Amino acid sequence: MKRYHYRAQIRPGIVPEAYFRDALPELAQRMEMREARRLSLFRCADALFLYYESVTEDVDPHALFGHCEAALEAWPGEDMLRRWVPMMDIFHYQRPVSEKHWRRTDPNAKPFARIARLRPEQVASYVFYHYQYQEEKPGDGDKFGMIALHENVMFFYSERPATIEPPPYEGKLSTTETPVDWAAAMLPHFIPWEGSQDIWREIPLVIQL
């Protein structure tokens, strides 16, 4: 089981909610062909954040959303222009070890997401602390919760209600160095959102399949 997380930019004048609702039938077919599942697309202004899973490797979002390219800006940086840029998994409460382990048991669970911005000079510190926490305390939060990073933008995916259960593996660290006052240790890492002191901003769901 592999988890995928990407970022994209919607073109001016396109309303994602209406555009992607019309694209759902073909998207569902493309997902079935590639064994993709649990797809959720979120929006913050013109930014899109995508999450999905698959039992197969290398399920490219360009193959899933090939019929939607007209709605998305192109990103440079590779030999060919991309509509979706990958985000890096920098923290997860659990990692899937099998399809059975990753099966949802609550049919009412709903995806939700938040985003935050790191101070560029604090990225290494943030990743260090989170790797330490992840490997010292696996299973300490929602089983499906994870943080992905692109540039200094973080995308936190999780599900409600949270699934809290011990993982079928031990963490890689036997230390106990995770800060007791986690919120205080994390605060210097963030750029607050304009006009407020909020660190994390919940973003709405556009589509779910």
Topology at the third CATH level for domain 2-208:
Alpha-Beta Plaits (3.30.70)
pLDDT above 80: residue 184 = yes
Exposure string of 112-147, with b = 16+ CB inside 10 Å and e = fewer, is bbbbbbbeeebbeebbebbebbbebebbbbbbbbbb
Q: Which residues pair with 117 in a beta bridge?
A: 153
When pLDDT is cut at 50, 70 and 90, the band that residue 197 belongs to is confident
Provide the percentage of residues in the chain whose pLDDT is more than 70.
Answer: 100
Q: Where are the domains of the chain?
A: 2-208
